[in-house]
Chain A
């Protein structure tokens, strides 16, 4: 039930976000990361990846505005293919003029609100 609620919220955020103008967006980093914020980002990336569970660094989006997601990385094993031909998914943290943080998928341009996180343009670091 919790997952359904989360996915619904994310979907609503996606719909709302998609209708916003693209102008005034800047690359951003998080001002701080907490377990709650990390969970929110994990849920977004998981939902954006058709439900495939995402593993993220504890400092995700704190040093860089981009997030590279590699597919086919089982979490409970050290098995890796090691000859990879496909490309990773690239997400970017951006901030709008009014200070709203978004995650954007660079290929599809889909965007998701971040409700719990605060961010700042990367050049303010």
Chain B
């Protein structure tokens, strides 16, 4: 254990206190005695010495409000003991210093000067967008795979207008009396205009009901007729259908497969297995994978789909992803204390969603791209996130040519082990996922490369969202652009290409598009 900073001119008094504290912590009798000493020596334990950190175990479970009873996560009695807010802050301080990916960007602050909530907010790098807490009791709640509360309409915000991106079958939204569809626009909710900032909380609560059996009224402008329609919907527990559209598009140069994949939920294993099997049987030569609304989920599902796209030849001996922790932990996972091992490609079923395990996964035989490796077209949006991005990154890591059509992805190569302390679960980034060639720095999202120096970015085109056309239709903007690119090797005129000649102008336009696409409602969902 290292406690002395490398470049410190020794301050004897400071270190003598630390050494005295270590003596108290580690040098005394039984475990129970240690606990007693820890409990009774706040005066030593809670002094702040800048950039000097005791192990977080010294502060763990010392709570302002200790819990009693059984911990549902472990089925053991809670270990909480009486402590102070400074103990809780010190736990977060030491835990972050030990495990936070960018621990060296945290400005060390005196834990006695902040509330626990405010102190945790300080323990992050300025660029970190994924730093939050959750009440542990709520965090431990469980759900049937793919089941969430709502109406079955997935909303999308385009330039402060709320549209229906897609719907779930057998939901209130698709009830024959209501029949909400992609491209329909929500004008009012319970008589409140959706742009009424003063009542945005009421609008958001109605759009995203937290419990079933909530009834709200919506004024909807229909996509096809442009007529307004008032509908009343009651929230329910909706079961997501993660793969809704699988189709084969016939062209003069071979069959092209299109596959809309919306959520990496556990039940999607069978859906993507069936989708790839169907497309394979239709002898597709190119695949257009639509991930524009897929904000992630199970990495195992992403792993399987990546294998099914690339096939055994190109994945043999390669890895899907490896966790990379901060430089204090180059070889050992600091949470599990197990050696860090690369995650191989999964070539067989896991056994989810009524599937047997250990069944060989189907795989495609796709056309080769410019680099001599198979190519795949991936449609993206701002909500393409996390596990979806890991598909792109892992494909790039094994040289599969990814042609990205759409807008920049969300940029989340990171992960964390949720950590409970005193009834709050803390989410602080601890690792990033790197691909077979060691790349995982896409925190600004994937976007089509603008120059040859961006070798870790896909090829492709920036293309705007087009809710006026149904998903999977060949005249929908992004699908149409992918087919155009496939035919011509270039982007359509109304998009932004990867052309090196257009770097300056395209950068400006790109920023404008990204801002327009910002989804204020869904942005809180992607973490």
Contacts and interface: CB of A to CB of B under 8 A. Distances in A.
Contacts of A85: 299-300, 415
Categorize the interface residue count of chain A: 35 or more
Given A54-B144, A79-B525, A80-B295, A64 B72 contact: no
Given A70-B265, A70-B266, A75-B211, A84 B145 contact: no
B300 A87 contact: yes
Interface string B280-310: 0000000000000001111110000000000
Contact of B144 (A55, A79, A80, A83): A55
Interface string A72-109: 11111111111111011110000000000000000000
Given A57-B237, A88-B266, A76 B297 contact: no
Given A56-B147, A79-B524, A88 B385 contact: no
Interface in A33-74: 45-46, 49-60, 64-74
A41 B17 CA distance: 57
B296 A69 contact: no
Given A68-B353, A78-B524, 17 more contacts: A52-B72, A54-B141, A58-B237, A70-B142, A70-B144, A72-B142, A73-B141, A75-B141, A75-B149, A76-B138, A76-B210, A81-B416, A82-B295, A82-B386, A82-B526, A83-B412, A84-B387
A83 B415 CA distance: 7
B354 interface: yes
Contact of A55 (B143, B354, B412, B416): B143
Interface centre among B142, B210, B297, B414, by most chain A C-beta atoms within 10 angstroms, is B142
A50 B78 CA distance: 14
A30 B479 CA distance: 41
A90 B527 contact: no
Nearest to A82: B296
B336 to A, nearest CB: 11
Interface in B343-384: 350-354
A52 B138 CA distance: 9
Contacts of A46: 142
A72 B419 CA distance: 12
B519 to A, nearest CB: 12
Contact of B143 (A73, A81, A83, A87): A73
B49 interface: no
Contacts of A90: 351-352
A54 B144 CA distance: 7
The 4 A-B residue pairs whose C-beta atoms are closest, nearest first, are A82-B296, A73-B143, A68-B145, A82-B386
B299 A69 contact: no
B415 A58 contact: no
Given A87-B300, A87-B350, A72 B418 contact: yes
B138 A69 contact: no
Contacts of B390: 83
A73 to B, nearest CB: 4
| Residue among A52, A81, A82, A87 having the largest count of chain B Cβ atoms under 10 Å | A82
Interface in B413-452: 414-416, 418, 427, 433
Contacts of B297: 80, 82, 84
